[in-house]
Amino acid sequence: MATQVIKSDPQGMGADAIREASEVLRRGGLVAFPTETVYGLGARADDAKAMERLRAVKSREPTKAFTVHIASREDAPRFVPGFGGLAARFGRKAWPGPLTLVVSVDDPSSAPVMAGRNGKAAEAMYYNNTIGLRCPDDGIAHGLLRAVDAPVVAASANLAGQAPSRTAAEVLRGLDGKIDLLIDAGRTKYAKASTIVRVTGSSYEVVREGVYDAGIVERLSTVRLLFVCTGNTCRSPMAAGLAAPMLAERLGCKPSELRAHSVVMQSAGTSGGRGGASTHALEVMAKRGIDLSDHFSAALSAEMIQQADYVFAMTHVHRETILRLAPSAEPKVMLLLDDEDVRDPMGSEVEEYERCAQTIERGLRARLQEVIV
């Protein structure tokens, strides 16, 4: 029997296709559906017969698991108890999107999703105490995964050895008559497979480059804090220097080890790019055991702002300048102090620099609580 094909309705956001496809999945059928990368072939992980069919179509070994597809990054803890650290950072920054995470699970049976489900469901989702998680950035995929209300695993919608399918026609060339339903939403956005990253503790490995190359993965793995003042010779470098030990304490490491934990401090000036840290800034920081002698003023750029996860402005004027350079960055740009400017000590005596450092410390103690590392 030929595979049923349903064309999605862009005006209705594919509501009819989602409704029918979710019913097929609930009954244990196989459904090919679009994602932003390539077409996926999904089945209920807790339906043994559906998994037998999926393994047969994909020529997959009985002990090999499939990638679990989730509707929202908030679903990850259902499959990975204590989902956090670097894996959660990838999830926050890349999901929904073309990134598959492979993470360790000490005891799959303890995962909330396994409540009331047998070991066959675990075999479909977990392999050697690891699980692959994917959160597609596609409206139809999202709606389908949400509607099924059961764990869904998926592989690329093609026969083993064939290239992943970017269109419905390519799906049918290999799978017509072998699967129950196909949602035809045209060519996928990227027409390229997702990137696979294996996360182990605080380190990661790019298993397969796809939509994201290694450089993008590196940026996704890193939390960047950017502090901005005018000349980048006193306030912002002091703020970056003072923030380092505070975050290091949270992570249980030394400030010098923050980069190993993929946390990066940066500072820049709206009129920066000339000279090092000011003499009094060096003195005030040295009293706190912080060495700014290697600092050199940097000019703020739109690229810096875009790459940062958190941008802290010393004054309202600095915030306005930041947003002129990168208007889309508004959600992550904030004053270091809620409604107060950090006064510029430039040209003043060392006592004013000390007061400035104390003000910055006060702001950091509050603001860094909002930073997720």
Instruction: Give the whole-angstrom CA distance, residue 184 versus residue 33.
Output: 7
Catalytic residue among 53, 235, 319, 367: 235
3-class secondary structure per residue, 280-309: HHHHHHHCCCCCCCCCECCECCHHHHHHCC
> Which pair of tokens denotes residue 193?
């497979």
DSSP state of 43: E
Answer for the pair 297, 259: CB distance below 8 angstroms, yes or no: no
Answer for the pair 298, 268: CB distance below 8 angstroms, yes or no: yes
Catalytic residue among 135, 229, 234, 356: 229
**Catalytic residue flag (residue 135):** no
Name the pairing type of β-strands 181-184 and 31-33: parallel
**Catalytic residue flag (residue 47):** no
Closest to 302 in 3D by CA, of 290, 289, 311, 294: 311
Cα distances from 208 to residues 2, 89, 101, 313, 352, in angstroms, run 34, 19, 11, 38, 53
Instruction: Give the whole-angstrom CA distance, residue 129 versus residue 175.
Output: 31
**Catalytic residue flag (residue 229):** yes
Catalytic residue among 78, 224, 253, 344: 344
3-class secondary structure per residue, 140-203: HHHHHHHHHCCCEEEEECCCCCCCCCCCHHHHHHHHCCCCCEEEECCCCCCCCCCEEEEEECCE
Closest to 165 in 3D by CA, of 181, 183, 187: 187
Asked if the peptide bond before residue 96 counts as cis, ω within 30 degrees of 0, the response is yes
Instruction: Give the whole-angstrom CA distance, residue 331 versus residue 310.
Output: 9
Catalytic residues: 229, 235, 344
